Structure 1
Amino acid sequence: MPRVNMETVVFLALGGCAGGFVNGLSGMGTALFALTFFLLKFDPETAVALAALLAVLAGIQGMWVVRGEIRADLRRVLRFILPGLAGVPLGLLLLGRVDADLLRRLIAVSLVLYGGYFGFRKALPRLERPHRWIDRSAGFVGGVMGGLASLSGLVPVIWLSMRGWPRGETRAVLQSFNLVILLFAICGLALKGAYGRETLEAFAVVLPAGIVAAQAGIFVFHRITDAQFQRLLILLCLCLGIGMLLRDALAG
């Protein structure tokens, strides 16, 4: 891990702000935005460890926003969480076999596919049937991605965007799922020694930026409509994915 010098502090703060804001805004996506900055300075395991810890601590604030929706249908939340917990160990196993360049490209392609497909549709599909097995499958894959790259919310958010639930209910599932899955992932990373002294020193920079940015995201969440919230997040994902791919192409 590189020494935490001024340039590194800037990247840590930018990653904390980006990840914290989107977490406060949507209840997911911390790693999608934070890893863009963390992977420029740190190895994949350290970057994921930082992003996972940020997602959990920033996400605690978001849980308070949707506490009523969580209590109203706890069984639905558990339908995603329990399979997700089973997928985390597989993701942790894969983590040590992925290099930083490949991980960035995987994230970028995922963002472009998701944002490109949904970002320009006039109306998103609305699935009325329960589809409980798909809920469980999305939870499992999300758990694998959570262990691999702190991307636990990527597959669930794509699936939930087609369910047509109210914004608060969708966020209740995503926020709870991400918090539990990434907390489990953090335990696995800690057992692998990912949270050494230098990583914790780096997180001391990330946390204040992330907490303040999360509050800003929650502020915006309360002041936009459901349609604005969904469209904004999807287009942000698309722009970020394109930017990451362009940066890799120019660097090559």
Structure 2
Amino acid sequence: MSTEYLVLLLVGAAAGGFVNGLAGFGTALFALGFWLNIMPPQQAVAIVLIMSVLSGLQGTYIVRASIAANPGRLLQFLLPALAGVPVGLTLLEHIEAGALKLTIGAFMLLYGVFFIARQSLPLVQGARVYTQVAIGFLGGVLGGAASLSGALPTMWCTLRPWTKGEQRAVLQPFNVIVLTASAVILAAQGAYDRQTLLWIGLALPTTMLAAQLGIMAFRRLSDMQFRRLLVALMLVSGLVLLVGELV
């Protein structure tokens, strides 16, 4: 392994872990920007799934009270998402993942620009159960098709009158469970060979430490600051996706 390879592996691990700890999503979007330069896509995705799940467990723990206070809200997203994962994996056999990522990246970019330009973020009131079920299902589809399970739920959470803990109580366990399902499917397909497990062993300590730093930053944010941060991260994530696919 060259020095450049090791540096990109660890920088990607740190970037993905910190963003996951801070916002509850984004490991893949930020880590893959580095890892796709040094390893094949399937291997990079297999590694980032494990990083996302293990670092996400830390973030899930800190909002356990919010999850327990309203488990039904999470299930509105999660149950349809699990049904959507195999649909996304099936679609992946018929569509080009790069084109899908470009589409989602452009949408995320426009979303971020639009809301950053506004003086205040709009709030969607009411239960909106059917909308949340649909968003959960589509999030599962996107998770299976392009590892973007958190994109639509994150967009929706920024529009809801929820505290940062309530938002994270949806986003963090949603991503952890959906990505775990994806990792299990990849494992069944033989994606975790000896070399991939070695890279995971090297990257994991950096990811976990960076996630803790992100969690420390999360605890210092107000609810409004957290909502605006999510919007800003959508903007950055959109740019990351577009640049990664176009360059």
Per the normalisation by structure 1, the TM-score is 0.89
Q: Does 1:87 align with 2:99?
A: no
Give the partner amino acid of 1:136.
V
Residue of structure 1 equivalent to 2:186: 189
Matches within 5 A, 1:1-252: 4-95=1-92, 102=99, 105-106=102-103, 108-242=105-239, 245=242, 251=247
Q: When the two structures are aligned, how many residues end up with a matched partner?
A: 247
Give the partner amino acid of 1:43.
P
Distance 1:244 1:84, change over 3 A: closer
Please report how far the alpha carbon of residue 93 of structure 1 lies from its aligned counterpart in structure 2 after TM superposition. Answer: 2.9
Per the normalisation by structure 2, the TM-score is 0.90
Equivalent pair of 1:45/1:96 in contact (CA under 8 Å): no
Equivalent pair of 1:36/1:104 in contact (CA under 8 Å): no
Equivalent pair of 2:28/2:52 in contact (CA under 8 Å): yes
Q: Distance in 2 between matches of 1:161 and 1:230?
A: 6
Partner-residue secondary structure (3-state), 1:119: helix
Please report how far the alpha carbon of residue 244 of structure 1 lies from its aligned counterpart in structure 2 after TM superposition. Answer: 5.5
Greater shift after overlay, 98-107 or 232-241?
Answer: 98-107
Partner-residue secondary structure (3-state), 2:56: helix
Q: Note the residue ranges of structure 1 that are not aligned, 5 or more in a row.
A: none
Any runs of at least 4 consecutive aligned residues in structure 1 with deviations exceeding 3 A, and if so which? 94-108, 239-249
Distance 1:247 1:167, change over 3 A: closer
CA displacement, residues 185-232 of structure 1 (integer Å, 9 cap, x when unaligned) = 111111111111121122122211110110000000011112222223
Please report how far the alpha carbon of residue 110 of structure 1 lies from its aligned counterpart in structure 2 after TM superposition. Answer: 4.0
User: Pairwise CA RMSD of aligned residues?
Assistant: 2.2
**Identity rate, percent:** 45
Q: Distance in 2 between matches of 1:68 and 1:189?
A: 32
Q: Distance in 2 between matches of 1:5 and 1:49?
A: 21
